[in-house]
């Protein structure tokens, strides 16, 4: 397990009871370096959407737990936020929550001359993702071929 994965897993263990107490759901955790700074980001959600006050509350509680355990030796910036409307689909649970919803996919290589697709998420498994396009066509994509998948946002 990489250092990043270890930090994310330990953070998730600290965050889970905080979220459970509030009836919130964990969407994702990421530990990344951007420029000279490290960021520990937690994306949380709840029925009806997360508020700024919810994020502040969880951030304070998580910060106290992280200070107590002190397992990340680097200086980092803690951010707690909503995953946003066009939230990324990375894990099985993300896809599971999105079955029946419209998503957009970007592939690494062109498929039939195109790298971007949108449609209703019909099903998924460890190897593939299946959508129904607006034209009523079922398309299947290998998970390893998907560069990015997000919930579709109509503006």
- Output the pTM of the full model: 0.74
CA 124 remoteness from chain centre = 16
Give the whole-angstrom CA distance, residue 149 versus residue 129: 10
**CATH class of the region 3-81:** alpha beta
Give the start-to-end residue ranges of the domains of the chain. 3-81, 92-151
Give the whole-angstrom CA distance, residue 1 versus residue 4: 8
CB atoms under 10 Å from CB of 146, counted, come to 16
Give me the mean pLDDT over the 69-84 stretch.
Answer: 94
The CATH H-level superfamily of 92-151 is: Ribosome maturation factor RimP, C-terminal domain (2.30.30.180)
- Place 93 in a pLDDT band, splitting at 50, 70 and 90: confident
């Amino acid at each position: 397990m990489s250092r990043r994965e270890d930090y994310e897993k330990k953070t998730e263990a600290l965050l889970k009871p905080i979220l459970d107490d509030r009836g919130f759901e964990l969407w994702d955790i990421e530990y990344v370096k951007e420029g000279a700074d490290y960021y520990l980001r937690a994306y949380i959600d709840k029925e009806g959407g997360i508020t700024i006050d919810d994020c502040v509350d969880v951030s304070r509680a998580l910060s106290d737990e992280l200070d107590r355990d002190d397992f990340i030796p680097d200086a980092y910036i803690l951010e707690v936020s909503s995953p946003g409307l066009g939230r990324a689909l990375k894990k099985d649970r993300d896809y599971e929550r999105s079955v029946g919803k419209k998503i957009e996919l970007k592939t690494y290589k062109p498929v039939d001359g195109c790298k971007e697709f949108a449609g209703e998420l019909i099903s998924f498994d460890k190897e593939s993702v299946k959508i129904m396009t607006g034209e009523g066509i079922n398309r299947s994509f290998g998970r390893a071929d998907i560069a990015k998948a997000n919930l579709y946002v109509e503006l």
